Structure 1
Amino acid sequence: MNAETLKTTLPRDLMASVVVFLVALPLCMGIAIASGMPPAKGVITGIVGGLVVGWLAGAPLQVSGPAAGLTVLVFELVQQYGAAMLGPILLLAGALQLLAGRLKLGCWFRVTAPAVVYGMLAGILIVLSQLHVMLDGQPEASGLDNIGAFPAALWAALPFSGGGNGLIAASLGLLTIVCMWAWDRLKPQLLRLLPGALLGVAAATLAGLWLGLDVRRIEVPDNLADAISWLQPADLLAFADPGLLVAALAVAFIASAETLLSAAAVDRMHQGPRADFDRELTAQGVGNMLCGVLGALPMTGVIVRSSANVQAGARTRLSAMLHALWLLAAVVLLAALLEQIPIASLAGVLVYTGLKLIDLNALRQLGRYGRMAMLIHLATALTIVATDLLTGVLLGFALTLGQLAWQASRLRVTVVQEGRRVELRMQGAATFLKVPRLARALEGVPKNACVHVPMTHLQYIDHACMELLEEWQRANQASGARLIIEPRALTRRVEGRRRQAVHLAAAADGN
């Protein structure tokens, strides 16, 4: 970047970086707490995401940091293996992302079925995991546990049940949500870049201090270095556990899918350079490996902070890098102030964020592609709530593959006979799985028939079915049988596609 360009873009990048910092600070801490980790861990991930990944990123306007969509999975891993094992998991997950980027596999993550991705990122998961945290409760290991914890936390918060400060904490969480909701709808044009999350957290913090409320507050280390848990060589022996290998694969896949989907969404928000998915995947791999070494949270490209970055007028990757410097300065210089923030307020930020992630329009769009797409989405989301994120995603993929297999195996065979002329009509996909059905249809055809096989409604026919047809002709040729395959429709389809490809190529050359 030359000096003239920097002079033009620096003011906008500087302003955008402040906006992103104000959005990122409460989210980094809230996501860390929801993941069962100290809030400083989330801030460290945000710093690495800005300074390192922001510098290397293939999507220069995308902001990386701890992601709300991974809270459930990270919490489960911490509960099952311990916080120390998160380092080796992230180290391997980052290495897998780095390898995928270097092998130019970034584009393949875009083939993830949208129904599975929408279910994976369903905001209801975040809402369910944080409702009882707003009552000063502790996050649980699974969606069902979180659902079960809410009535118990609510009962314990009622005055006649023995007390507790749950309702007081919930009032601060609700105050945060109301502030964010009101700001989204009533904010003046001149202050549109000021994030509602910051105002909500500030209002709840001031209210808690003014009224002297006894609620749980976040803990920030006096020295940021105290929050770093360096990966030890002995920790690498954990890779002998197959469960850790599966966990690393799950983190790598889900983080990559969320990152690249976010990058594609950011591309639609601006007219600048398009994202290089392979470079972005490589950068995310480096970032997650570094987070593993530091004992921080996993990172992804995050749409909320990225959209704030674009809307604030960012022009280059410098805005994402500068926001990380502001995060570092806040933790180092304002630790005493951050320790006054109620945990219930950060839970309120995540509840509101989760509610906004419940995208009913996306469900309506999926409905255009049939009930099966909506079923896959709901099955993925509900399974994640009932079990865990990995199980839900695997179920979603299994259902998607099952749907493809069902569509590929459907074949309707109709025999229409007019004297000696027989028309064998096939509709669907004639694969080797349908050889028995096709064989039964041919058994009813007279041995001296002239069989016409139109391809008009046939999407695909494989070698096994073609060989069966040819074998029937050879077996009955002595009786006068004839087989006439009418490939005109398939030929027209192929030629039409060829003409379309030529037309598109010519248009591209013209541009």
Structure 2
Amino acid sequence: MNKSFTNLFSHFRTDFMSSIVVFLVALPLCLGIALASGVPLLSGIIAGIIGGIVIGTASKSHLSVSGPAAGLVVIVLNAIEDLGSFESFLLAVMIAGVLQIILGYAKAGVIGMYFPSSVIKGMLAAIGLILILKQIPHLVGFDSDAFGEMEFFQQGGSNTFSALFDAFTHVQMGSLIIGFLSMGILILWSKKSIQNIKALKQLPGGVVVVFLAVFVNYLFIQFAPEIAIDASHLVSLPVFSDFESFTSTMALPSFDAIGNPTLYITAITIAIVASLETLLSTEAIDRIDPEKRRTPQNAELKAQGLGNLLSGAIGGLPITAVIVRSSTNLASGAKTKLSAILHGFWLLIAVALLPTIMNLIPLAALAAILIMVGYKLTNPALYKAQFKVGRKQFIPFIVTVIAILFTDLLIGILVGMAVGVFYILRANYQVPYKYYDSTNRAGSSPEILIELSEHVSFLNKANLRNTLEHIPDNSHVILDGSKASLIDHDVLELIHDFKFTAHEKNIKAELKHIPRL
């Protein structure tokens, strides 16, 4: 039997159970992102199915889960308006998929290696905070925002915090009870006393929560209808009477915009943003993988490109690797990519065969699952650990958290990167060499040794220039490059210029192991 096939099923029990939890989380997210994007709900489900089955199979990531991403909502809304139709937008998604495949073959995945760990950890912590803040309203039955929205600012002038305050003035009692009951079960399920019971350990708390939530709401309907949860606070999956009604709802790409430059600008934008979000998400999930496995980033770009090509072809939203679903996957005990693949099949079965049953699930129960995932991502111990490492790590970390919280994922990452790069540049500026003043008696001519470090780049030029300009007159200066493996050309010019003009201040300049220009 094929070895890779055997490995795929080597942890079937845990992957199977994890896939159900990921499916339960992905289902409302697919619907919510489609709703927030202003496209048919089925488009979000199609993207989730392809993200699971197609990308899950093609990807070499063990834990990453792909699907429609909240970070692309604004791009989708604006693109549809600019192109004039959703059908034209689907063509842009297909082209974006082709571009991602090209990026994969061009080995552009290496970009993911250049994000500092402090920024990646900040991204995870910020996602955790956003999940908690965004899901609290759903936990108490206030569902004014789409389930998948992640941006701080919302339409109508509201924001994450105002929605949070509004939630507690619009509490739905049934959702509140089920929400807090679900939270209690999930907390209990994480305790060692439960985990030590073999039969319960194999059963994810998220699955228990969903079944119990449906049952409790059934009891409300029977015995306390005044607090029962109505359809507006339940999963809202489209119900199709037959296969023909299913296919008639699907949108297909239109080639009418093939000569429109906006089409290609949109495709390039989707390809870049989706690729960056994918690289960031896979890098982040690799960092917290207990087995420390690494995802080949170029192969991941190819898999994502294939997924977007197919998604656009049959009416789906753009797809990326998504940190929320990936984190849920890991937290639920997944070991291989079988979990991601199976969750795609569950989405397909749910929309094709079981929509009425799925529509019994309270959003409050799913919100509880996401809040617990969020807590694991933004655990206070993470902040404490980053603080202990030092400010060069903590400041980029906390800036990334705040920036993502108040903007969106990509803008926040760029802000965090800017701060991280600042500290890198500052470190390079401060440590280009060692300076020794070996004057040994009063009145003698100063004897100075400047020992260059291993790597002296153009970033060190200003600091070195300042040092050379302030060397006292009548000194004997030795510039030693014996430990340097690389000296930038700009720095070499500076050193040789100094030697050439040193006599003007009666300075004897001696160069050791400094290359000629």
Give me the TM-score of the superposition, normalised by structure 2: 0.76
Q: 1:126 to 1:414 in 2, by over 3 A?
A: same
Partner of 2:509: 483
C-alpha deviation, 1:102, in angstroms: 1.2
- The offset of 1:253, in angstroms, is 0.3
Within the candidate set 343, 350, 367, 2:370 is matched to 350
The alpha-carbon deviation at position 263 of structure 1 amounts to: 4.6
Does residue 1:433 correspond to 2:462, yes or no? yes
Identify if the C-alpha distance between structure 1 residues 290 and 244 changes in structure 2 by more than 3 Å, giving closer, same or farther: closer
Distance 2:247 2:95 in 1: 23
8 Å Cα contact 1:127/1:354 also seen in 2? yes
CA-CA distance at 1:336 after TM superposition: 0.8
CA offsets per residue over residues 163-202 of structure 1, 9 Å max, x none?
A: xx3x432332222222222222224322323221122122
Partner of 2:186: 180
> Which amino acid letter does the alignment assign opposite residue 388 of structure 1?
D
**1:256 matched to 2:259:** no
Q: Residue type matched to 2:25 in 1?
A: L
Whether contact under 8 Å (1:96, 1:252) holds in the other structure is no
Aligned partners of 1:128 and 1:143 also within 8 Å:
no
Check if 1:420 corresponds to 2:445: yes
- Residues 387 and 474 of structure 1, relative CA distance in 2, 3 Å threshold: closer
Specify the alignment match of 1:380 in structure 2.
400
Question: How much does 1:9 deviate?
Answer: 6.6
Secondary structure of the residue aligned to 1:194 is coil
Letter of the 2:97 partner, please give it: G
Which one of 122, 132, 138 corresponds to residue 133 of structure 1? 138
| Residues 306 and 155 of structure 1: CA distance in aligned 2, closer, same or farther (over 3 Å) | closer
- CA 1:80–1:427: 2 relative to 1, 3 Å: same
- Cα gap change, 1:171 to 1:478, in 2 (>3 Å): closer
Q: Distance in 2 between matches of 1:26 and 1:230?
A: 27
CA distance in 2, matches of 1:414, 1:269: 43
Residue pair 1:93, 1:252 contacting (<8 A) in 2 also: no
Task: Give distance in 2, aligned partners of 1:179 and 1:455.
Answer: 64
Letter in 2 for 1:44: I
Partner Cα separation in structure 1 for residue 511 and residue 239 of structure 2: 80
* Aligned mates of 1:104, 1:46 — CA distance in 2: 26
Aligned to 1:23: 21
Contact in 1 for aligned 2:66/2:320 (Cα 8 Å): yes
Which of 94, 100, 103 is matched with 1:100 structurally? 103
**Residue 211 of structure 2 is aligned to residue 202 of structure 1:** yes
**AA partner of residue 321 (structure 2):** T
Matches of 2:109 and 2:379 in 1, distance apart? 25
| Alpha-carbon offset, residue 64 of structure 1 | 2.5
| Aligned equivalents of 1:98, 1:277: Cα separation in 2 | 12
Equivalent AA in structure 2 for residue 279 of structure 1 = A
Cα offset, 1:79, TM superposition: 5.4
Measured in 2, the distance between the counterparts of 1:11 and 1:58 equals 15
Cα offsets for 1:202-228 (capped at 9, x unmatched): 222221222021432222122354664
Taking the aligned partners of 1:415 and 1:331, their CA distance within structure 2 comes to: 76
> Could you tell me whether the CA contact under 8 Å between 1:29 and 1:40 is conserved in 2?
no
- Paired amino acid for 2:303: A
User: Aligned match of 2:174 in 168, 172, 188?
Assistant: 168
Check the 8 A contact 2:387/2:394 in 1, yes or no: yes
Residue 143 of structure 1 corresponds to 152
Per-residue deviation at 1:43?
Answer: 4.0
Helix, strand or coil at the partner of 1:423: strand
For 2:502 and 2:213, locate their aligned partners in 1 and report how far apart those are by CA, in whole Å.
86
Tell me the CA shift for residue 89 of structure 1: 6.4
The answer (yes or no) to whether the contact 2:279–2:297 under 8 Å persists in 1 is no
Aligned to 2:251: 229
2:417 aligned residue:
397
In 2, the alpha carbon distance for the partners of 1:348 and 1:307 equals 17
Paired residue type of 2:473: V
Question: Partners of 1:275 and 1:479 in 2: how far apart?
Answer: 58
Equivalent-residue separation in structure 2 for 1:39 and 1:333 (angstroms): 16
Count of residues in Structure 1 that have an aligned counterpart in Structure 2:
466
Question: Does residue 1:300 correspond to 2:318, yes or no?
Answer: no
Q: What secondary structure does 1:451 align onto?
A: strand
Once the two structures are overlaid, the 10-residue window that deviates more, 123-132 or 417-426, is 417-426
Q: How far off is 1:335 after superposition?
A: 1.1
1:437 offset after TM fit, Å? 1.0
- Verify the 8 A CA contact 2:64 2:282 in the aligned structure 1: no
| Cα pair distance change 1:102/1:382, threshold 3 Å | same
Q: Determine the C-alpha separation between the residues in 2 that align with 1:11 and 1:387.
A: 40
How many Å apart are 1:62 and its aligned residue? 3.4
Q: Which runs of 5 or more residues in structure 1 are unaligned?
A: 158-164, 491-511
Greater Cα offset, 366-375 or 198-207: 366-375
C-alpha separation between the residues in 2 aligned to 1:313 and 1:152? Answer: 40
Deviation at 1:154, TM superposition (A): 1.3
1:371–1:481 Cα change, 3 Å: closer
SS in 2 for 1:453: strand
Aligned to 1:278: 298
**Which residue identity lines up with residue 107 of structure 2 in the other structure?**
K
CA drift of 1:286 comes to 1.2
> Residue deviations 1:404-429, cap 9 Å, x none?
22222226867665523421546876
CA contact (8 A) 1:266 1:303 kept: no
Alpha-carbon spacing, 1:275–1:246, altered in 2? closer, same or farther (3 Å): closer
SS of the equivalent of 1:131 reads helix
1:357-384: per-residue Cα shift (whole Å, max 9, x none)? Answer: 1144444454454213211121122122
